[in-house]
Chain A
Amino acid sequence: MKKIFLLPLSVVIFYTTSCISQENPPVIETPDQSQYTTETIVEGIDIPWGMDFISENEILVTEKKGILYRVINGVKNEVSGLPEIYVRGQGGLLDIALHPDFKSNNIIYFTAAINVEGDEGGNTSLYKATLKGNSLEEVKLLYKALPNTKKGQHYGSRIVFDGQGHLFFGIGDRGNRDVNPQNLGIDGGKIYRLNLDGSIPVDNPFVNQEGAIAAVYSYGHRNPQGMTMHPKKGELWENEHGPKGGDEINIIEKGKNYGWPVITYGINYSGTPITDKRAMPNMEQPIYYWVPSIAPSGMAFSTSGVYKKWKGDLFVGSLKFKYLEHLILKRGKVVKREKILVDIGRLRNVKEGPDGYLYIGVDGKGILKVIKK
């Protein structure tokens, strides 16, 4: 009698404790760190939110508090002509990206929190401008999310091109999870798709839906902080901050709902549940979720052969645990995870440079080049 009673009880106890303490597999490994090192490329930036490469020796870097740098051989030159930036909470000057034909047209895009309406608060915007030397000209607002809010959270963003005349950018839920992400008529909690001139593609998923925002490409997101095109498959890959537990990697498809906050693997920061639902019909599952949360920031595939054995692998910064995460994928699943550059600092961004090396943005430091001995 006693045994019969104890067995299920111990199973239940084992199950619940392992649920609480367990890391979502594969469990992260820490290889010998002496094989990795970094070279400092740009120094002295508090929060290097975004970057893009004009050439190997020339990088555009945004500093969140509202400065754009054109860095030439490590020397920072401040670029003039930015609009007034709304710096509050997680908002400020965010991502930057060169037009695919930058070499011939000198056009750049950037995202920033702004307020142009004159009310209180701010929201995420996308701008286009022409870079002439160290100044921006023909600065044009392409998209501005509404309404403005004084909330400090979840501005997005990351700018990505698909090579077919479109650009994507994300906006987080702006701290209003119960209203924004599941409502197609309100900004926030969405990935957007525009043509390179800012116009709306005629085949966007919700152009013909009454009341929906025509620029929306996918919805149900919490806070996208990393986005990149898969180098071979042409898929749009994204990572986003979940609540406590439940950061995600998603493959973004047209018109799809990624579920926040109806489904999530995370819980409130206070430990209380948000929902008991992890899956629902017509809501997409992540290809990987992090429990515990690492606060993923930035996302890049290594496509060059400069690092032995890293070709085709995915790299994501961890803001929270201060390392670069190396993810090995097989048939669309994460099969191995490794910590690279343990304790390097709050890792904000990662990109592959024109020389094939990975470059990382680290809070309080600047831009570093990743070297494998």
Chain B
Amino acid sequence: MKLILITFCALLLMQFSWLQQNKPLEQSISDGAEIYQDFCLQCHLDTGEGVSGVFPPLANSDYLLNNIDLSIKGIKYGLSGPIVVNDEEYDGVMANQGLDNEEIADVMNYILNSWGNKSNDIITIERIAQVTE
């Protein structure tokens, strides 16, 4: 009986922390859309196309789709210096936007699944936490 109770509690706890940590992908994407409006759109634009030579595109970006952890790092800590996105060189500054790990996971899920982008990776808060400077 005790054992059942303990397992039950443990399951409940797991369920709870799962719910808290990682919401369903759809929810994460729609929360990410809001973060995007607030923190990214002014540069990368609402089509994700960016501005050629100034702000790199996120739509169909080979940099983003092939370097997910590097992209996370850029959003988490800021990104500057020369990079190449879809054969075009950029040498700008993207400041760290001050987002928390959950917000970064949400906005990553949003940009990885918008404007024709598709990704098999579901970005979790743990994955964001693992990316260090």
Contacts and interface: CB of A to CB of B under 8 A. Distances in A.
B79 to A, nearest CB: 11
Interface residues of A, number: 20
Contact of A269 (B46, B54, B80): B46
B30 interface: no
Contacts of A89: 38-39, 97-98
Contacts, number: 44
A87 interface: yes
A270 interface: yes
Given A269-B46, A322-B54, A152 B39 contact: yes
Given A89-B98, A151-B38, A364 B54 contact: no
Which among A151, A152, A363 has the greatest number of chain B C-beta atoms within 10 A?
A152
A47 interface: yes
Interface stretch (B62-70, B88-96, B112-120): B88-96
B78 A346 contact: no
Contact of B93 (A151, A152, A364): A364
Contact of B92 (A152, A269, A346): A346
Interface in A233-274: 269-270
Given A46-B78, A46-B93, A269 B45 contact: yes
Nearest to A321: B54
B96 A65 contact: yes
A64 interface: yes
Nearest to B81: A364
A151 B95 CA distance: 16
Given A151-B38, A270-B46, A364-B80, A46 B98 contact: no
B93 A363 contact: yes
Nearest to B46: A270
Contacts of B39: 89, 152
30 contacts: A46-B78, A46-B93, A46-B95, A47-B93, A47-B95, A64-B95, A65-B95, A65-B96, A86-B98, A87-B96, A87-B98, A88-B97, A88-B98, A88-B99, A89-B38, A89-B39, A89-B98, A151-B38, A152-B98, A153-B38, A153-B42, A269-B41, A269-B46, A270-B46, A320-B54, A322-B54, A346-B92, A363-B92, A364-B80, A364-B91
